[in-house]
Structure 1
């Protein structure tokens, strides 16, 4: 059993319990079960955790750092889908399921910062889930939280302006903007880095004007 994995997971217990709505007992039990297969990993900024075109076989749980998932469209343009932070599993579920049959992953996972974490073999994790009812309920809650996030993301992309999408990004990922590249954020918002710079300048100008009015 990996004691460091348990220690690191416990750092994020309260936040994760709130995010996916599970009990202390459930979180602890799942942590202890997964600790039997957890293996440490380290990557530098810019390194891939998962490459598109290669079957996905591992879940990456992050103890520190930020990862980004995305894909390349038909024109070869990089499209960002979401970000993963400390205490979260960087996972592209469809790719993991398809990887069981040897199919290549469509999405990539790349380190936006140096990352320390633990890999969990997907096949072994599925076997453990089949054996433990607590893991079945736990992962159902994760799936539901993921679907809610996906639905909100779809709305933000289709029904809001770039300014509103930036505001939604800042609300969903507080503090992340200062840790990652402007290019990555622009890709997530579906705009160019140049337009991203313009949005930031406009936001800063509005904030300055607001402070002047209050003075």
Structure 2
């Protein structure tokens, strides 16, 4: 609620409305919630676990855009909108840890939102928070060093480093896993505090 600036009353009202179309789901680590190249039709709300969102560039290299955690909807909005007309998703969503949560049919959720002003404002707040996050990430990637990007990752996703692979973090930072290892060693040497090992 704090992250997207909505009241507890609004949160509860939207949750109760969406509960009417929510279906529980579970996937194992490494399984896809959404595949690039396949039309996106589902929103995935996470009760537990971490999901990574990204795409493959023209050279076939995997680029990580962001991570979703408990209490968030693992959703690529543009892909959902394009999916309404059968266009394939550009991004993938993959489980970095085992996931428990609920899926919501995008079309059904959109119909409910059209009938509910509280839901409209709630989803507008989510969209604005997403735009702010994208803008900050664009700046971080374009104007900072790898050390600064790692520090920004740790600030944006506290505690996440210990839960996911070093490879996933390196992809997010735009560096190699080997360079990621070097950054961690340098940070540990500077602070004298070892980071927990990743799975």
Partner residue in 1 for 2:2 = 18
Q: Which residue of 2 aligns with 1:51?
A: 35
The alignment partner of 2:55 has SS state of strand
How far apart, CA to CA, are the structure 1 residues paired with 2:32 and 2:192? 39
Structure 1 runs not aligned, ≥5 long: 1-16, 210-215
Deviation by residue 1:95-150 (Cα, 9 ceiling, x = unmatched): 00000000000000000000000001000000000011110000000011111111
Q: Deviations over 1:138-193 (max 9, x none)?
A: 00000111111111000000000000000000000000000000000000000000
| 1:1-215 correspondence runs (5 A) | 17-208=1-192
d(CA) in 2 for partners of 1:148, 1:107: 19
Please give the alpha-carbon distance, in whole angstroms, between the structure 2 residues aligned to 1:152 and 1:77. 23
More helix by share: 1
Q: Could you tell me how far apart the structure 2 residues matched to 1:99 and 1:21 are?
A: 28
Distance 2:11 2:149 in 1: 32
- 1:194 Cα shift? 0.3
Q: Which residue of 2 aligns with 1:13?
A: none
- Residue 24 of structure 1 and its aligned partner are, at CA, apart by 1.2
Secondary structure of the corresponding residue to residue 177 of structure 1: helix
Q: How many correspondences in the alignment?
A: 193
Determine the C-alpha separation between the residues in 2 that align with 1:90 and 1:38: 14
How far apart are the structure 1 equivalents of 2:135 and 2:141?
Answer: 10
Alignment correspondent of 1:6: none
Q: Distance in 2 between matches of 1:86 and 1:28?
A: 17
**What 5-or-longer segments of structure 2 have no aligned partner?**
194-199
User: SS at 1:18's partner residue?
Assistant: coil
- In 1, the alpha carbon distance for the partners of 2:136 and 2:37 equals 28
Q: Give the drift of 1:208.
A: 2.0
Q: Hey, what does 2:197 align to over in structure 1? A: none
Structure 1 runs of 4+ with >6 Å offset:
none
Deviation at 1:80, TM superposition (A): 0.1
